[in-house]
């Protein structure tokens, strides 16, 4: 069988793989990207509601979760959000800040994929889709990669096959299996940036208000996010919930401050003086839509009576629930709808400068397959660009 010789093979034509390939190609390396999907960059295309939140102006290592929070620093500081923004501008792609530094394409995520493919083309990178990877073996001078399209040989092998989220889009555990094959360890993986499902009794009440969104501060395990929370027919979603899902572990209770700008204890004290004759629902409806008010009353089993008929203890409990509603999710929607995968290839065995496995010469891991996970807001793509760039300089 004839062997196709390349300097670099990148497995995975997603954000990290395409970007790394273009960078390596610029250095004159003969690069081929292999992907099992029909189309490249499928997650980019559906990201940010089709407009791709491609980076965040405030991206810093603090926005990433990893067993080693220092690992991402090197790549993020050498290829920053400003570098990627400059590239987007060079291609004349119109973009805007939506909120909190999150940059989105004005038109379509297709602009980002087209830019990555143009960069690959200029660097003579070959991109081959519909390719199954059958076997990878180390050879004396690099790697043999046996595929459904033939046998390849390369000096450097870059794994950019992403995480487990959205199996419908072609996510596979390939990267973790390959890492294990070469003796690297995997930090346990878990769905993140994912909606919560609720226990039956909460779900029955809250499904009634599906579509209602409210500004909250959601917290768990000493971390919290102030953004919108959305009630869905399955449970809870919206940015604050997706963010906190990355910090939540099964069995944990969420604390949700439903009126983050107010001290609920002062508020009920005020009601006792000024709104004595008002029904509780009337007082609450100053803050919440009517449907949410009745759901809260039902779920907390609050009677709807005039404020003057509540004892101080009862009012204190109501105040607690408003500022610190304790809600125990049943679980998450899992990889089916998660935006990212927490955990992955352990950073302890990778060089933070090059992304190469320290003990396996020529084998690199970039992007989401690595145990570096960003918050919601463009951080995950920035990690794909930064880690892809770092490897692209040396492969
Ligand atoms: C719905 C959704 C919306 C998102 N929105 C945003 C957003 O707006 N901003 C943001 O920063 N992040 C967003 N993310 C997260 C972001 O898409 C990922 O973190 C990012 O795509 C990871 O890049 P990657 O290159 O590591 O992996 P991917 O982009 O997942 O690419 C991996 C590639 O590897 C290929 N592959 C997998 N297994 C194999 C195999 N066995 N053989 C060959 N090829 C294989 C896949 O087909 C894919 O092309 C979103 C994710 C989802 C699911």
The string of pLDDT tens digits covering residues 3-24 is 999 999 999 999 999 999 999 9
> Ligand 1: distance of its center to the CA of 325 in Å?
34
14 lines ligand 1 (CB under 6 A): yes
65 lines ligand 1 (CB under 6 A): no
Pick from 152, 161, 165, 376 the residue to mutate for probing ligand 1's pocket: most ligand atoms within 8 Å of its CB: 161
Task: Name the pLDDT band for 1 (thresholds 50, 70, 90).
Answer: confident
Task: Name the pLDDT band for 304 (thresholds 50, 70, 90).
Answer: very high
pTM, 2 dp: 0.97
> Ligand 1: distance of its center to the CA of 149 in Å?
23
> Ligand 1: distance of its center to the CA of 113 in Å?
12
Q: How far is CA 327 from CA 116, 247, 273, 322, 332, in A?
A: 43, 15, 30, 12, 13
* Helix intervals (H) in the chain: 15-26, 42-46, 73-78, 81-90, 110-122, 174-181, 200-206, 239-245, 264-274, 280-284, 290-299, 312-323, 379-392
245 lines ligand 1 (CB under 6 A): no
Above pLDDT 90, what percent of the chain? 99
CA distance 75 to 60: 11
> Ligand 1: distance of its center to the CA of 301 in Å?
44
Q: Indicate if the pLDDT at residue 328 is higher than 90.
A: yes
> Ligand 1: distance of its center to the CA of 306 in Å?
53
């Amino acid at each position: 069988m004839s062997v196709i010789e390349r300097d670099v093979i990148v497995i995975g034509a997603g954000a990290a793989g395409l970007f790394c390939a273009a960078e390596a190609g610029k250095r004159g390396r003969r690069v081929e990207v292999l992907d099992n999907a029909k189309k490249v960059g499928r997650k980019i295309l559906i990201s940010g509601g089709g407009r791709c939140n491609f980076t965040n102006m405030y991206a810093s290592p603090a926005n990433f979760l990893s067993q080693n929070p220092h690992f991402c620093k090197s790549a993020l500081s050498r290829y920053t959000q400003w570098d990627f923004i400059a590239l987007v501008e060079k291609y004349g792609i119109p973009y805007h800040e939506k909120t909190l530094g999150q940059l989105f394409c004005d038109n379509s995520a297709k602009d980002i994929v087209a830019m990555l493919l143009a960069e690959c083309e200029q660097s003579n990178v070959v991109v081959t889709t519909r390719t199954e990877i059958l076997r990878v073996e180390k050879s004396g001078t690099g790697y043999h990669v046996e595929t459904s399209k033939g046998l390849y040989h390369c000096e450097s092998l870059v794994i950019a096959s992403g995480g487990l989220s959205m199996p419908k889009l072609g996510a596979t555990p390939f990267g973790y299996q390959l890492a294990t094959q070469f003796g690297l360890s995997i930090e346990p993986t878990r769905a993140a940036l994912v909606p919560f499902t609720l226990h039956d009794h909460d779900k029955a009440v809250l499904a009634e208000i599906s579509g209602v969104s409210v500004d909250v501060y959601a917290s768990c395990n000493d971390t919290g996010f102030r953004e919108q929370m959305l009630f869905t027919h399955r449970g809870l979603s919206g940015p604050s919930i997706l963010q906190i899902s990355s910090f939540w572990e099964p069995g944990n209770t969420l604390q949700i401050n439903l009126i983050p700008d107010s001290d609920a204890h002062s508020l009920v004290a005020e009601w006792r003086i000024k709104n004595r004759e008002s029904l509780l629902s009337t007082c609450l409806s100053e803050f919440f839509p009517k449907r949410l008010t009745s759901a809260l009353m039902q779920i907390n089993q609050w009677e709807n009576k005039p404020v003057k008929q509540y004892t101080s203890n009862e009012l204190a409990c109501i105040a607690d629930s408003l500022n610190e509603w304790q809600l125990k999710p049943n679980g998450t929607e899992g990889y089916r709808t998660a935006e990212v995968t927490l955990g992955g290839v352990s950073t302890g065995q990778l060089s933070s400068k090059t992304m190469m496995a320290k003990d396996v010469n020529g084998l690199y891991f970039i992007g989401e397959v690595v145990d570096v996970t960003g918050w919601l807001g463009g951080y995950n793509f920035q990690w794909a660009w930064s880690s892809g760039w770092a490897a692209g300089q040396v492969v």
